[in-house]
Amino acid sequence: NAGVTQTPKFQVLKTGQSMTLQCAQDMNHNSMYWYRQDPGMGLRLIYYSASEGTTDKGEVPNGYNVSRLNKREFSLRLESAAPSQTSVYFCASILLDEQYFGPGTRLTVT
């Protein structure tokens, strides 16, 4: 039981490049979330998925797309990275009284 895994842990992109952040959980949780964390801003919700095949926008969805193809995996895609997307990204798998965060992905866009 690995909990929530995220890849990569670090990434540097140039403006305009694209990439996908991967998140997987092996706890059979229905809900999965993507957050970004910026200094002084706390955790802000980008997208969430209440169940397999469904996704909803959170507080800051612009510039991102997500995909929940199966119960286990929830990916976050940046189609054309911008410096404003430099941040630490956390994936979370949450089932009411069970909550687990991935280790985070530190993304820098130059």
Q: Which residues bind other proteins (CB under 8 A)?
A: 31, 33, 35, 41-45, 48, 50, 59, 90, 94, 96-97, 99, 101-104
Closest CB to other proteins among 64 and 90?
90
- Which region, left, alpha or beta, applies to residue 10 given φ > 0 means left and ψ of -120 to 50 means alpha? beta
* Residue 84 backbone dihedrals phi, psi, to 5 degrees: -65, -10
Q: How far is the CB of 13 from other proteins (least distance, A)?
A: 21
Going by the DSSP 8-state scheme, the letter that residue 50 receives in this structure is S
Neighbours of 94 (CB within 10 A): 18
Closest CB to other proteins among 60 and 109?
60
Q: How far is the CB of 59 from other proteins (least distance, A)?
A: 6
Closest CB to other proteins among 27 and 43?
43
